[in-house]
Amino acid sequence: MSTGFEDYQFIHQALPEIDLDNVDLSTKLFGKKLKAPLIISGMVGGIEEARRINRNLAQAAQVLGMAMGVGSQRCAIDDETTAFSYRVRRVALDVLLFANLGAIQLNNGYGVDECRRSVNMIEADALVLHLNPLQEALQSGGNTNFADLLNKVEWVCHELPVPVIVKEVGCGISDDVVRKLVSIGVAGIDISGAGGTSWSEVERYRTHTQMGNNIAASFASWGIPTAESIRMVQCVANRFTLIASGGIRTGLDVAKAIALGADAAGMATPLLKAANESAESVIVALREIIGGLRIFMFCIGVSCLMELKNSPLLKKKIRGS
């Protein structure tokens, strides 16, 4: 499924009237300054290999001055011996760091204490509560009781000493859901729209039954494309921090996401292979994205992210009949 970014294009400015060297990518999220509006989204945890991958990602985030999240910490809450795989603060002293738990666990015995433990475990600056109803529904034995979950998220928002971010895992978030989340005190939204990793397809390949395969396959085009999800929620975006993720691969994707109304962009899949190799490989991959973003901004004549956000120079393409 497409992210929808291909439906938009910037209007090139042949006379940008700025110096490329003066293009400023810095921004501030949750009280911390970032050198670029990029977040390494949470991916892995719980095993020895995850410790190496997370350390490589954290080192790159520290060098380049960006934010980072870790994978779901549920296994470390249930078994503290796996917590080592998430702890990256020693190599990411100044990084804006996000802890991560599944929101559904609030309906399965977790509460503020477990959320606080996940934050303290990695000395995080904020907590991400992720939503994955489709994935849970397609999993054999998945956790599908999402009843009254909003009230429990509100409880966490009011009791936790750090900001709470709510994140989808690949199906996008709509404007009506965002309004509910903001009304209960959620400080940030990560839309994680359709167009990136398809967890319905992942579950399709995991299932051992033909029925399960067929049901999962019918969701191949399910979800709100990333670009459309940003567009839907940006009308209330001044009330919270809006993070765009879901299929973001290049500097152009980041530029379009911010021009549509996002404050920052998250990515995972493009960095996983690099992180499996070394921190240096992650730095190279991220510098390519950062370099592209800077040049795209230069070519439309904007020298800072404030000018890029909601830029009138991003136009929806007119399709021929």
Enter the pTM of the model.
0.96
Instruction: Mark out the alpha helices in the chain (DSSP H runs).
Output: 48-64, 74-78, 112-122, 133-138, 149-159, 175-183, 199-206, 210-217, 226-233, 251-260, 269-277, 279-299, 305-308
Provide the token pair at 18: 């700025």
Alpha-carbon distance values, 295 to 106, 263, 288, 313 (Å): 44, 18, 11, 15
Q: What is the pLDDT of residues 121-173, one digit of tens each?
A: 999 999 999 999 999 999 988 999 999 999 999 999 999 999 999 999 999 99
Backbone angles phi, psi at 190, to 5 degrees: -110, 105
SS3 of residue 186 by DSSP: coil
Judged against a pLDDT cut of 50, whether residue 321 lies above it is answered with no
Q: Does the CA dihedral 28-237-219-169 come out positive or negative? A: positive
Q: Answer yes or no: are the C-beta atoms of 43 and 55 closer than 8 Å.
A: no
Provide the token pair at 107: 């309906």
Q: Answer yes or no: are the C-beta atoms of 223 and 171 closer than 8 Å.
A: yes
Closest Cα partner for 291 from 64, 67, 97? 64
Closest Cα partner for 122 from 185, 60, 55, 56? 55
Judged against a pLDDT cut of 90, whether residue 34 lies above it is answered with yes
Q: At what angle do helices 269-277 and 279-299 cross, to 10 degrees?
A: 140
Average pLDDT, the chain: 95
Q: What is the pLDDT of residues 265-301, one digit of tens each?
A: 999 988 999 999 999 999 999 999 999 999 999 999 9
Q: What is the pLDDT of residues 36-78, one digit of tens each?
A: 999 999 999 999 999 999 999 999 999 999 999 999 999 999 9
5-316 falls under which CATH superfamily? Aldolase class I (3.20.20.70)
